[in-house]
Amino acid sequence: MAAKDKKTEQHIIDTAMHVFFTEGRLHATTQDIADAAGVNRTLIHYYFKSRDQLFDAVFEKARLESIREAQSVLGAALPFRKKIEQFVDVLLKRLETYPYLEISMTTSMHNGQPFRDEVPEIFMQQFLQEVAQEMNKGTIQRATPVHFIMNLFSLVIYPFIVKPLNQHLFGLNEQEYEKIVKERKTVIMNTLFN
């Protein structure tokens, strides 16, 4: 019902992304997704042959989007700190749309989901060099460069992953947690940079 302006196949993928990555229902059935998309369950098989192949299509799209976003920021000609700041923005924005994306991809990997040709290696190498330069300049903590990236991702993503757990742990309601999230960007930048 919902969508005739976009092609049905794409509509199903988008719905699945929402179910998986926004609602976090990684184990939604094909019926669940069909219901959410307002289509007949069989249609999913018509387009994707099997549940697994729908998964593949969804993860592939998510992966490509992530890479594209990362490259558009990290590949730009900007000062390092500015670049990281924008990247944190991009990540946070994405996490607001798809809070369960990272955890889903990680979880699904345990279940045999194979890796696809990932971030262009050269791209990663270049960025690691840029990080190394900053360490030499003394603007960030000196260490094996991968640690900086690990720290970055950890600080941004993890609190989203464990949101319900944290809310409970710290006794924060939805509103209060929202406030904390809003502060994260500044905290993260201060944590990453000397």
Partner DNA sequence: AATGAATGAGGCTTCATTCAT
Partner DNA sequence: TATGAATGAAGCCTCATTCAT
Tokens representing residue 94 in the block: 């994405």
Considering only residues 5, 111, 122, 174, which one is a binding residue for its own copies as defined by CB under 8 A? 111
Of 13, 29, 21, which is closest to residue 106 (Cα–Cα)? Answer: 21
**Using CB distances below 5 to 8 A depending on partner kind, what does residue 159 bind out of its own copies, DNA, none?**
its own copies
| Residues 114-143 contacting its own copies, CB under 8 A | 115, 118-119, 121, 124, 128, 141, 143
Number of H helices, E strands in the chain: 10, 0
Cβ proximity to DNA, 1 vs 169, nearer residue: 1
Residue 105 CB, nearest approach to DNA (Å): 19
Cβ proximity to DNA, 52 vs 89, nearer residue: 52
* Contact present, 129 and 194 (Cβ < 8 Å): no
**Using CB distances below 5 to 8 A depending on partner kind, what does residue 42 bind out of DNA, its own copies, none?**
DNA
Cβ proximity to DNA, 14 vs 65, nearer residue: 14
Residue 34 CB, nearest approach to DNA (Å): 8
Element (H, E) at 114: none
175 belongs to the binding site for its own copies (CB under 8 A) = no
**Using CB distances below 5 to 8 A depending on partner kind, what does residue 87 bind out of its own copies, DNA, none?**
none
Cβ proximity to DNA, 38 vs 75, nearer residue: 38
Cβ proximity to DNA, 42 vs 139, nearer residue: 42
Of 147, 99, 20, 78, which is closest to residue 30 (Cα–Cα)? Answer: 20
172 belongs to the binding site for its own copies (CB under 8 A) = yes
* Contact present, 62 and 121 (Cβ < 8 Å): no
Please, what is the Cα angle at 61 between 67 and 97, to 5 degrees? 80
Residue 8 CB, nearest approach to DNA (Å): 4
What is the CB-side half-sphere exposure of residue 27 using CA atoms within 13 A? 2
Considering only residues 89, 109, 120, 136, which one is a binding residue for its own copies as defined by CB under 8 A? 109
**Type of residue numbered 43:** L
Residue given tokens 């960007």 in the structure block: 185
